[in-house]
Amino acid sequence: MKKGESSLTSLVSAFSRAYHSQFDTPIIFNDFIAKDLISQKEFNDIKENMIQGIQFFNKEIAEKYKGNTEEILKWITQIQLSPTPLARAAYCEKVLLHEVMLGLKQYVILGAGLDTFCFRHPELKNRLEIFEIDHPATQEFKKTRLDKANLEIPSNLHFAPMDFTKEFSYQNLIDEGFDNKKTFFSLLGVSYYLTKEENSSLIDHLFAEVPQGSSIVFDYADEKLFNEKGISNRVENMVKMASASGEPMKSCFSYDEMENMLEKSGLLIYEHLSPAKINELYFDDRKDYLTAFETIHYIHAVKK
């Protein structure tokens, strides 16, 4: 990872959440704080880059909406950029808040980027310890952004710097107050960039040190990832963009493969959402371009 790369990824993700909370109706996932973590210049720069890339995404749309930059931006954001980050965040937080109701005390966010969960849920300050794991450079970048936005880091938010995709270490978490109690993990937008072996090893490490009932929500790509084109070639575009950015997508799983991998780490699939189910839950009856991404599934798995 080059300096600044991780902050760019987190900025683009924050951009899609900020755009959605301000311009889309109805709202699937309301990250009303995301806009405070991006400067107006960054927002405009990302917007311009998206608009200028319309020829890559879809030549027909480029022609159809020529000169109408807002409609072009809406099309790119809703077709390509936002569907997966919005729906998976909505699903993950629904599961998490249910777990908190059942007495959960620890939440670990892997690849947290510019996540805003603890700032949107100040009522959990004395009920839930939140541990954000990410690259040290990304965490420093985030702290700077929080400072600029006058957002004070609450006492229940802990930063554990590590490149967990290379090697996961519990020591960094323990140093921040992590305890051997029931834990909920989120791993969003990561599994595709790891090999099958790396995914399996990471899940193994995560669940080796936590008690029964601990669980994880993550998204993964099914076995059609590298063949499916998707609406307006968006799946193919996603794979191409990842490759061009130097972070190629490396793995996809059939449901049976996923089930076997989790079984080896002592986990059971509690809930599985297919693209059709995600569409039904989060994108039904919309009048805009937002629809669930083909080939992307969500899983909630629990340690037996």
Identify the architecture of domain 83-303 in CATH. 3-Layer(aba) Sandwich (3.40)
Say what the pLDDT of residue 3 is. Answer: 47
Domain spans in the chain, listed from the N-terminal domain onward: 5-81, 83-303
- Is the overall model pTM greater than 0.85, yes or no? yes
d(CA 97, CA 109): 14
Task: Using pLDDT thresholds of 50, 70 and 90, give the confidence band for residue 9.
Answer: confident
Tens digits of per-residue pLDDT, 50-62? 999 999 999 999 9
Buried b (16+ CB within 10 A) or exposed e, 129-165: bbbbbbbebbbebbeebbeeeeeeeeebbbbbbbebb
Which residue reads 């889309």 in tokens? Answer: 24
Phi, psi angles (nearest 5°) of residue 184: -115, 130
3-state helix, strand, coil in the chain (%, to 5): 50, 15, 35
Return all residues near 158 (Cβ < 8 A) that are at least 6 apart: 129, 130, 131, 132, 176, 177, 178
SS3 186: strand
Helix axes of 83-101 and 5-23: crossing angle, nearest 10 degrees? 80
Q: Residue 275: is the preceding peptide bond cis (ω within 30°)?
A: no
Tens digits of per-residue pLDDT, 139-149? 999 999 999 99
Contact 242, 193 (CB under 8 A): yes
Say what the pLDDT of residue 6 is. Answer: 57
Torsion of CA 193, 195, 196, 198, to 10 degrees: -100
Q: What size, in residues, is the chain?
A: 304
Return all residues near 250 (Cβ < 8 A) that are at least 6 apart: 192, 193, 194, 195, 198
Say what the pLDDT of residue 4 is. Answer: 53
Residue percentage of the chain with pLDDT more than 90: 92
Bridge partner list, 184:
107, 215
Tens digits of per-residue pLDDT, 216-262? 999 999 999 999 999 999 999 999 999 988 889 999 999 999 999 99
Q: Is 256 exposed, middle or buried (0-12, 13-18, 19+ CB in 10 A)?
A: exposed
Say what the pLDDT of residue 173 is. Answer: 95
The neighbour count for residue 56, using CB atoms within 10 Å, is 14
d(CA 269, CA 272): 7
Task: Using pLDDT thresholds of 50, 70 and 90, give the confidence band for residue 1.
Answer: very low
Return all residues near 223 (Cβ < 8 A) that are at least 6 apart: 252, 253, 254, 257
Mean pLDDT score of the chain, rounded to an integer?
94
- Assigned token pair, 234: 């968006």
